């Protein structure tokens, strides 16, 4: 396929980027092999270049490699998982990243400095802008890791007791949110395949709705609108978060 | 520099990705040259591969190329800008993307289907998860555009009357949020340079805090903690959103 001419030099092929984004996936089983400090620094050097609202760069990172500390952080994060399982038993908790965090040789805890919200205009919701910025940072981080052959996952925290515990463990000041924990390491492909076989919803993670179904030209095309029933059906068949009883062994 | 060995094939060099992320920037001045439908489809084909909470893929896209409609959408978005300027005169409104939207030959309106929040566990705030997912989508979209030599910017909406107006114009169903409008086109480098000369804060957009200042090993390093005063200073000198009177001609 030809590429478009433009003022910018062609710094990367479209095909290379597409393959990188398509190949990125959440890995929950890691080999114990360590990751070099140089690799971590290179990954974070891309993460810090992510776009943020007003260039506010809310992110800082705590990199945890110490095995005992990784276990403690993972245990704190996993309490979200246990509480969630009680409250929402229909959810496919087999996809949860938290119980596997301790396996990865490196945990990158992504902090958000709430104080930068003062940079945003008061007419917009700063909380959303900050969290969008942090998401950009995590995606850039994950793509950089993938470009080095390293696997990651996206562990979400949202306040509550796991956040307080991790704050204490890592001595994180109160000004920071602790929204994301990204495990980094080399994928254990054998264990990944075994886990996928036990969790039927897992393979859905790489599926996407076809382009034509989600693109509207000039105006929203009413004939493409999903009914509420179609969205419900999509959630149960195409997301990774819900599994019918028949294939819920992974729970 | 050597790259790490790993189980994944080396589908893209780290250096190529870093250059792409570093080179991405918000462009507000576009040449009138059209963008091919093929290019738009290729860009959205990467955007749809972005990671989302539970693979919920909340995104759909309305692509607007019709000049009259672009003007109307841009005018609706710009009303956010005018209202904001009254409410928050200290903000550096010269960086606002909204007043330039009509210049771009293509506007991609990124919709978020609120109904997919039913896929998320009730223990997490679905609103945040959905908006993080949409941010991932916009970043992937922008990187794909950059890989084709196309310029973009990030126009933010958050509800209110601009959203209602755009909803009516593009016949967008109520189930969707309209958070982001991404103009796409070829940068008008002459006009970009002229505008940058008038808006001193603009060049800050590519600056980032140094890696060492934002990375903590094993625990948060108290000696790196910014005081409230340092954050305030950072907002006024390193973000693009605040300018001191002396260099505020761009306002």
pLDDT tens digits, A131-185: 999 999 999 999 999 999 999 999 888 778 889 999 999 999 999 999 999 999 9
Minimal CA–CA distance to A182: which of A161, A152, A224?
A: A152
Determine contact, residues A155/A77, Cβ cutoff 8 Å: yes
Residue B250 has pLDDT above 60, yes or no: no
Q: CA–CA separation, B163 vs B157, rounded Å? A: 7
CA dihedral A214, B20, B94, B43 (to 10 degrees): -20
Closest partner residue to A12 (CB to CB) among B122, B147, B170 is B147
Measure in Å the smallest separation between the Cα of B198 and chain A Cα atoms.
Answer: 18
> Given pLDDT bands bounded at 50, 70 and 90, which one contains residue B122?
confident
Q: Which residues of B touch A222 (CB under 8 A)?
A: 171
B14 vs A42: CB contact, 8 Å cut-off? yes
Q: Where in chain A are all domains bearing CATH 3.40.109.10?
A: 14-198
Q: Which residue has the higher pLDDT, B198 or A163?
A: A163
Chain pair A-B, CB pairs under 8 angstroms: 368
- Residue B80 has what pLDDT? 77
Of A36-45, A86-95, A110-119, A161-170, the range with the lowest mean pLDDT is A86-95
Strand B176-185 to B106-113 pairing? antiparallel
- Residue A18 has what pLDDT? 94
CA dihedral B236, B237, B240, B244 (to 10 degrees): 60
Tokens coding A239:
């997301």
| Mean pLDDT to the nearest integer, B186-198 | 88
| Mean pLDDT to the nearest integer, B149-170 | 91
pLDDT tens digits, A171-227: 999 999 999 999 999 999 998 888 888 877 878 888 999 999 999 999 999 999 999
Residue A251 has pLDDT above 60, yes or no: no
Domain B14-198 maps to which CATH number in 3.40.630.10, 3.40.50.150, 3.40.109.10, 3.40.190.10? Answer: 3.40.109.10
> Given pLDDT bands bounded at 50, 70 and 90, which one contains residue B171?
very high
B210 exposed, middle or buried (CB, 10 Å; 0-12, 13-18, 19+)?
exposed
Minimal CA–CA distance to A150: which of A33, A1, A8?
A: A33
C-alpha distance from residue B205 to each of A52, A54, A57, A186, B192 (Å)? 9, 8, 10, 34, 13
E strand or H helix that includes residue A144 = helix A126-147
Of A168-172, B11-15, B56-60, B105-109, the range with the lowest mean pLDDT is B11-15
SS (H, E, C) A150-193: CEECCEECCCHHHHHHHHHHHCCCCCEEEEEEEEEECECHHHHH
Residue B89: DSSP 8-state: T
Residue B224 has pLDDT above 50, yes or no: yes
Q: Report the mean per-residue pLDDT for chain B.
A: 88
| DSSP-assigned states of every residue in A34-99 | ---HHHHHHHHHHHTTS--GGG---EEEEEE--HHHHHHHHHHHHHHHHHHHHH-TTB-GGG-SGG
C-alpha distance from residue A22 to each of A55, A66, A107 (Å)? 27, 32, 23
This model of the complex carries an ipTM of: 0.91
Residue B8 has pLDDT above 90, yes or no: no
- Crossing angle (nearest 10°) for helices A160-170 and A67-87: 170
Query: What does the radius of gyration of chain A's CA atoms come to, in whole angstroms?
Result: 20
B123 vs A83: CB contact, 8 Å cut-off? yes
Tokens coding A244:
């019918």
- Residue B179 has what pLDDT? 92
Minimal CA–CA distance to A217: which of B104, B107, B78?
A: B107
| Closest chain A CA to residue B134 | A132
- Crossing angle (nearest 10°) for helices B67-87 and B160-170: 170
Strand B215-217 to A59-64 pairing? parallel
**Range of A4-8, A9-13, A51-55 with top mean pLDDT:** A51-55
Determine contact, residues A17/B12, Cβ cutoff 8 Å: yes
- Residue B9 has what pLDDT? 39
| Mean pLDDT to the nearest integer, B78-87 | 80
Q: Which residues of A touch B235 (CB under 8 A)?
A: 56, 116, 118-119
C-alpha distance from residue B94 to each of A55, A59, A134, B115, B143 (Å)? 14, 25, 24, 36, 24
Minimal CA–CA distance to A201: which of A82, A78, A91, A103?
A: A91
- Residue A2 has what pLDDT? 37
3-state secondary structure (DSSP) of residue B3: coil
CB atoms within 10 A of CB A221: 15
Q: CA–CA separation, B244 vs B87, rounded Å? A: 18
The position carrying tokens 């030599």 is: B149
Residues constituting chain A: 251
Residue A60 has pLDDT above 80, yes or no: yes
C-alpha distance from residue A173 to each of A113, A163, B45, B231 (Å)? 9, 12, 40, 14
Closest partner residue to B171 (CB to CB) among A116, A135, A220 is A220
A218 vs B187: CB contact, 8 Å cut-off? no
Give backbone dihedrals phi and psi of A113, rounded to 5 degrees, phi first.
-80, 105
Q: What share of chain B is helix, strand, coil (3-state, %, to 5)?
A: 50, 15, 35
> Given pLDDT bands bounded at 50, 70 and 90, which one contains residue B246?
low
Q: Which residue has the higher pLDDT, A121 or B67?
A: B67
C-alpha distance from residue B193 to each of A11, A114, B160, B199 (Å)? 21, 33, 33, 10
């Amino acid at each position: 396929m030809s590429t478009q001419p433009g003022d910018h030099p062609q710094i990367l092929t479209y095909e290379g980027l597409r393959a990188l984004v398509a190949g990125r996936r959440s890995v929950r089983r890691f080999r114990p092999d360590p990751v070099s400090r140089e690799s971590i620094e290179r990954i974070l050097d891309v993460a810090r270049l992510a776009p943020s609202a007003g260039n506010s760069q809310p992110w800082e990172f705590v990199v945890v490699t110490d095995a005992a500390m990784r276990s403690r952080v993972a245990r704190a994060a996993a309490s979200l998982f246990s509480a969630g399982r009680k409250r929402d038993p229909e959810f496919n908790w087999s996809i949860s990243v938290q119980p596997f965090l301790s396996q990865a040789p490196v945990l990158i805890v992504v902090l958000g400095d709430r104080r930068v919200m003062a940079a945003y205009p008061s007419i917009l919701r700063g909380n959303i802008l900050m969290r969008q910025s942090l998401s950009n940072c995590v995606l850039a981080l994950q793509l950089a890791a993938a470009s080095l052959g390293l696997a990651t996952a996206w562990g979400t925290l949202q306040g509550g007791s796991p956040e307080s515990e991790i704050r204490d463990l890592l001595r994180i000041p109160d000004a920071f949110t602790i929204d994301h924990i990204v495990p980094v390491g080399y994928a254990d492909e054998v264990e990944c395949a075994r886990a996928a076989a036990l969790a039927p919803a897992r393979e859905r993670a790489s599926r996407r709705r076809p382009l034509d179904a989600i693109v509207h030209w000039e105006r929203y095309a009413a004939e493409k609108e999903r009914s509420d029933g179609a969205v419900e059906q999509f959630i149960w068949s195409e997301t990774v978060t819900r599994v019918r009883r028949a294939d819920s062994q992974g729970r």
